[in-house]
Homo-oligomer: A and B are copies of this chain.
Amino acid sequence: MLITKPVNEFLDELASNSPAPGGGSVAALSGAIGAALISMVGRLTIGKKKYADVQATMEDVVKKSEELRGKFSKLLDEDTAAFNEVMAALSLPKSSEEEQRKRSATIQEATKKATLVPLNVMQLCEQALHLAKTTAEKGNKNSVSDAGVAVLMLQSACAGAALNVRINLGSLEDQAFVRETSVSFKKILGNVEMLSRATLEQVEKSLG
């Protein structure tokens, strides 16, 4: 599993001449990093007298951001697995018509999966950004730049995942699936942009 590798070994594997892990897994990792920073700011707020009135809110934030971190961490490996499945499908035999039909169906199925993983990363980014907004607004002011970095990591996670959704959508034949996915995709991108902008403005204001 990638998530249990030492950071430097994960980077070595990323930098190698193998296409996986690549940008898709990086997007999931960036999401996990963003969620971890939200948890940190939340935990640096909990138990402080000055922030007693937001204690319950922050406990809820940390519970949710830790759940999201767990989901992002799983998707880090799932993205690489999904990519490898597409590669395996592409190398299936295609001598007979029967084989061609089977290969094509397997490619389509694997590509759908490889689309849903980054789409899921995008959905989780939107959820995490709501939490980042709360920590930037109500969390420990000494850590507001960390809430800002959380937003930046979630933004690039979402935009990176979006690139991967787009590539895969391009090679899918199931037009109903393509339409449905495109609708979710656009909706999330819009919400993520709005949430990120509002939260970064809040961070800027707090930094003075």
Contact = CB atoms under 8 A, between A and B. Distances in A.
A10 interface: yes
Interface residues of A, number: 58
Contact of A33 (B3, B14, B170): B14
A3 B7 contact: yes
A96 interface: no
B26 A153 contact: yes
Q: Which of A15, A76, A160, A163 counts the most B-chain CB atoms under 10 A from its CB?
A: A15
Q: Which label, helix, strand, loop or mixed, suits the secondary structure of the A interface?
A: helix
Given A43-B15, A44-B19, A159 B152 contact: yes
Contacts of A155: 152, 156
Given A22-B146, A163-B203, A207-B166, A4 B15 contact: no
A190 interface: no
Interface stretch (A34-42, A102-110, A122-130, A173-181): A34-42
A40 B16 contact: yes
B143 A22 contact: yes
Contacts of A37: 14-15, 22-23, 26
B3 A5 contact: no
